[in-house]
Amino acid sequence: MSLSEKGSDDVIEHYEKGQHVDPEVNEDPAFAKRTLRRVDSNLLPILAILYSISLIDRVNISNAYVAGMAQDLQLQIGSRYSIATLIFFVPYILFELPSNVLIRKAGAARWIGSITTLWGIVMIGMGFVKTWWELVICRALLGVLEAGFFPACTYIISTWYVRREIQKRMTGFYVLSIMISGFSSAIAGGISEMAGIADLGGWQWIFILLGLATVVAGVCAFIFVQDFPDKNKFLSAEQTKWILARIDKDRSDAEYDHWSMSKFWAYMADIHLWSFALMFGAACTTTYAFAYFLPIILVQGMGYTTLAAQLLTAPPYVFAAIFSFSLAWMSDKYMLRAPFLIFQAIIAIIGLTLTAFHTNNGVRYFGVFLGIAGGSANVPAILGYMQNNVAGYSKRAFTSAITIGGGGIGGIIASTVFRSEDAPGYRPGLWVTIGSQLVIISTTCALTVYYYFKNKAVREGRAAPIEGRPGFFHMY
């Protein structure tokens, strides 16, 4: 009986017992291409669509703000709007690591489907709030539920591919998401024209209709979201064996290693892992700043109408998607990470500088293109950089959680440095986002030096294998 005739259950059982796969796996190029194409098509599109919905739901508060919510809930008073935006990130940060631990037990489809459906219900509820503090409570609940989503996506994707393949997959997943979400302002602008129907404001219809779409997507997630390689049900046994064997060869971590408190504290003490959180937080400071405040800057700072501002937010995200994926493809081709991170940060700095200080609105809007492109490109690039330099299921789950938690801190910073009293230019906030790109550049340089000497010591026999895995070397 052939391996494919036995079914995938034998292979999965083999892994659950902690045994290595037979290294004699199918090396037929056509088989490899067909298998990877099947993984790509089953894994990435559904996660990208769900993440785009996640992005829309967490940031469409800015579209609701300019569609009448600011007046109805009196969000212009003091720091109310900043509080409503930043409160999302407090539970978002706290619940990320527990979520990445629970997803293995619950199963990816059940976990992602459940939390997506629940946050969709919360979104619908936001359409019926009467006071600003009720909005804050809903945003906090949204943070609790979304905490388990993005870390789970990056964690799942990282377990399916070898390191030379991760960057463009991670970027493809991310840029498809931001391109879809980039049209959210245009969609919200259209929905806001429903103001007055059923005695509801346009901003209320934004939350209600997009919340309903999220609930539908959550139900679909139960059916279409795929699990980890060793638990998958869509590949044949031969394909599963090939996927697991190549991962084992690439980084010796195809087996799932269970959590323990000793591992947790060892990971907590590893400063190297926290550097990724610092970089990701810096990247997200820029992306969240644009997400939360671009429509407001376009209206209050550049004088566009509300509808025009909502329509003008989409083109920069389309450009960012093309820019990001092109550089990710080159990064994988040349097996380089750090030079691309630095280049993308420089592009973001140029764009932010133009938006902050130029007097011509056309040039300032061009700066938005560069700022969003450079900032957005570094989000998946940093995640790929992190996944390339960490081995082991539990360690990658931990690092994914704290890294994306760093992104939550970036969201808090973005929410607080763009203050109402700084309108319409918001220059202090733009200065902070420029500084965040300098953090990415300096940290990347420091890690490159560290990786170079670490790899050199191992190759010369002066140090033990990295992560205790012979043949594993850091990428830079």
Q: Which of 56, 227, 248, 221 is nearest to 155 (CA)?
A: 227
Q: What is residue 318's predicted lDDT score, i.e. its pLDDT?
A: 85
CB neighbours of residue 419 within 10 Å: 14
DSSP code of 183?
T
- Helical (H) or strand (E) element with 154: helix 150-158
Taking the chain (476 residues) in consecutive chunks of 10 residues, what is each chunk's mean pLDDT? 38 39 60 93 91 86 88 88 87 84 83 94 95 95 90 85 85 80 79 91 94 95 90 90 86 66 88 94 90 76 76 85 90 89 97 87 91 93 89 82 88 79 75 94 96 93 85 84
Q: What is residue 94's predicted lDDT score, i.e. its pLDDT?
A: 87
Q: Which of 130, 102, 127, 126 is nearest to 114 (CA)?
A: 102
d(CA 101, CA 103): 6
Domains of the chain: 13-18+27-463 (1.20.1250.20)
Q: What is residue 16's predicted lDDT score, i.e. its pLDDT?
A: 38
Structure tokens at 265: 């504290």
Q: Are 109 and 226 in contact (CB under 8 A)?
A: yes
Where residue 18 falls (left for φ over 0; alpha for ψ -120 to 50; beta otherwise) is: left
Please tell me the pTM assigned to this model: 0.76
d(CA 33, CA 282): 36
d(CA 103, CA 271): 25
Q: What is residue 347's predicted lDDT score, i.e. its pLDDT?
A: 97
CB neighbours of residue 105 within 10 Å: 8
Q: Are 413 and 284 in contact (CB under 8 A)?
A: no
The size of the chain, in residues, is: 476
Q: What is residue 426's predicted lDDT score, i.e. its pLDDT?
A: 74
The runs of H, that is alpha helices, within 127-270 are: 132-146, 150-158, 163-182, 184-192, 202-224, 237-251, 261-268
